[in-house]
Every structure is written in structure tokens, then in C-alpha cells.
Structure 1
Amino acid sequence: MNTIKSTAIVLCICAVTACKREHRVFDPGSSGSQIANGIPLNEVHAGGPLSVPDHGPYEQSAYAVGEGKRLFSAFNCVGCHNHGGGGIGPALMDAKWIYGSHPEQIYSSIVQGRPNGMPSFAGKIPDYQVWELVAYVRSLSGQLPADVAPGRSDEIQVKKAEQAKKKEHPPDESPQPIQKGQP
């Protein structure tokens, strides 16, 4: 009887310590909280080359994507992008991305801004928050794993939750912006 209890306790301890939790960065430290100026400002080209990493550092963290979702509302991105469905700004839930859907391209759009309305947030948002926004924006079109994407917002009860969307991969091959009137 004692052997069974001790075996059960050992198994419980092993099970608890074997669980892998995602790493959550609550305080990025002095280097992570630097204001986003990290990329050289270059000419704005749709899908143009950039000198930032080719992946977002927070795309595997559900916490960071959730923070990106919170920041999306806090920085009033919803005012133009209407919770990702488009409005004054382009939709972020479909496969038609003017300036590219890769993390470094979205990062550049946020930091540098884009012609015809997207303001530059260079010097206004810490670098880690820009990357959290990038991760959330990519989740809107189902580009992140389902276990990382945030749940559906209360104000959007008519659409599927982000993690339930079919994955879409916006085409980035076209260097030209999409013209109005073209399918």
C-alpha cells in the first residue's frame, strides 16, 4: 500500500515537472523595451526587401499574441482596420496583402508607415510591442498555429475565432500594389 502511494506521488511529480509551458516575457528588459527604430528607413515598396529577421519572435507565444490583440485596440488600429475586417485601412483577414504578410514586412509597415494613410509608429512603440502586434496581425488571417492564436473578441460574435479560420497565405510574389477595380 505504501509502495503504491509513493509510486503515485513520484508519477505526479514527474508529470507536473514534465509539462512544458510557454515562455512569457512580462518585462523585456532594457534592450527589449527600446523604441522601435531598429530598421533603416528605405523606399516603400510592396513586398520589398528588408533588413529585419524573417520571423517574428513572438509567433509561438499565445500570451504575446493576446497582448498584440490588446495593443491592436489600445493603439486604435481597429479605427482603420475594423478588428481586421477592413474599413478605412485594408482588411487583414484575407489573402490580399498589399505590402506583404511576412513578419518583417508587417513590422516595416507598422514602424515606417505606408502611403495613403498608415502612419509611422517609429519612436512611439517599443520594439517588443511592435512584434506582438505583428504576431496578432498574422493571426487574423490564420497564419499562426491554432494553439497560439487568440480567441474571438466579444465585439465580433458573428465571425469565427481566429484559430478556427482556414489558413491563408497571402501572395507576396507580386511587387506591385493591388489596384482598385482588379479582382
Structure 2
Amino acid sequence: MPYFLVLLPFLFFSCEREERTLVVQPPSAQEASLPQVSDLAPGPQHNKAPSVSNPDENNSWMMAEGKRFYEAYNCVGCHAHGGGGMGPPLMDEKWIYGHEPQQVYATIVEGRPNGMPSFRGKISNDQLWEIVAYVRSLSGLTNQWAANARDDHIKGAPPPNSVPEGTPHNSSEPQP
């Protein structure tokens, strides 16, 4: 037993303690990676996006559907009924991110900083174009004589103010 007591301190001192050395990364690896920033900026765009035609822009029924989706997806919560609430108004001539159909489409799909959420994957492509047509119609950017979607006997006569202008003549003159 005394022999064991003499060896006990040597056993404790002879055991090596585990050493952990931290691996120091080179300075370039420690720098935070910065997110990529797009070149999108408010104001006039100098490099125009390729022109995209909106098939729903000249169809009154599609614009009406756009209004329905505008309300259903709660666009009215921020933009009111075009006049602007806490979001920018859509009835004036000042468009921060552009008024072209593809720019409005991109705004809805991608969202914008400071409040506009992205609707990517939440709204179908057809519904998006219908909303774009409605939003553009709020500030008069679409054809005010958009064609009625119905092309059957129920369509009726065109409104009086859209009939081609006639040539006035006196009732005493012979008519051709």
C-alpha cells in the first residue's frame, strides 16, 4: 500500500491534459459576406427591361378580375382603392419603380423594400397579369376603350361615346 501511495502522485502528474488549440481563420475568411444588391433604384430607369406584352391589358373583363384579385390578396390594405393608404398611391403619375407592365409585374412578384411583400409563388401568372392590368387602369395607363370580353349576342351595342364620329349635315341637304 505505501508503494501505491508513492506512485499515485506520479500517475497524476504524468497524465497529459488535453490541449485544444483554436484554428484561426485567415482574415479574408472571417469577413462577413455581403448580400448582393440589385441595381434597381427609384426614379426613371435608364436601361429598360425587355418589353413584355400583357394579354389582359385590353380586356375589360380581365381588368375586372384584376380588381377582384386586388381586393382578395389584400392590396387594398396598403394601397386602399388606388388612392394610397400606408402604401404609395396607384392613381397618380408618380411611379417609384416604373409604370410599364413588366415593371409593375416585377414589383408584385419581387416585392420592394420598406413594406411591399413578395408574392412570388402565391399568385398565379394569369392572376398577376390581371392585377397588373387593373393597377395600370387606376391611373389611366390602359386603353379606356378596353374590349368587352363577351363576344356573343348579349354584348349589345357599343356605348354612345365610343361610336365613330359622324359628319354633321343639315337636314335640308340631301343625304348620300
Q: TM-score scaled by structure 1?
A: 0.55
The equivalent of 1:109 in structure 2 is 107
The equivalent of 1:44 in structure 2 is 40
- CA contact under 8 A between 1:85 and 1:92: conserved in structure 2? yes
Three-state SS of the structure 2 residue aligned to 1:89 is coil
What is the aligned counterpart of 2:75 among 57, 70, 77?
Answer: 77
Deviation at 1:104, TM superposition (A): 0.5
Superposition RMSD in Å: 2.3
Three-state SS of the structure 1 residue aligned to 2:104 is helix
- For 2:52, give the aligned amino acid: D
Looking at structure 2, the residues matched to 73 and 102 of structure 1 have their Cα atoms a distance apart, in angstroms, of 22
Deviation at 1:146, TM superposition (A): 1.6
Aligned identity (percent) is 53
| Gap change, CA 1:115 and 1:75, over 3 Å in 2 | same
Three-state SS of the structure 2 residue aligned to 1:125 is coil
Looking at structure 1, the residues matched to 131 and 47 of structure 2 have their Cα atoms a distance apart, in angstroms, of 20
Matches within 5 A, 1:53-132: 53-132=51-130
- CA contact under 8 A between 1:44 and 1:114: conserved in structure 2? no
Deviation at 1:149, TM superposition (A): 8.9
| Bigger Rg, structure 1 or 2 | 2
Asked if residue 135 in structure 1 is aligned to residue 141 in structure 2, the reply is no
Query: What number of residue pairs does the alignment pair up?
Result: 110
| Gap change, CA 1:49 and 1:64, over 3 Å in 2 | farther
Three-state SS of the structure 1 residue aligned to 2:96 is coil
* Structure 2: stretches of 5+ with no match in the other structure: 1-37, 149-176
Deviation at 1:55, TM superposition (A): 2.8
Looking at structure 1, the residues matched to 96 and 78 of structure 2 have their Cα atoms a distance apart, in angstroms, of 15
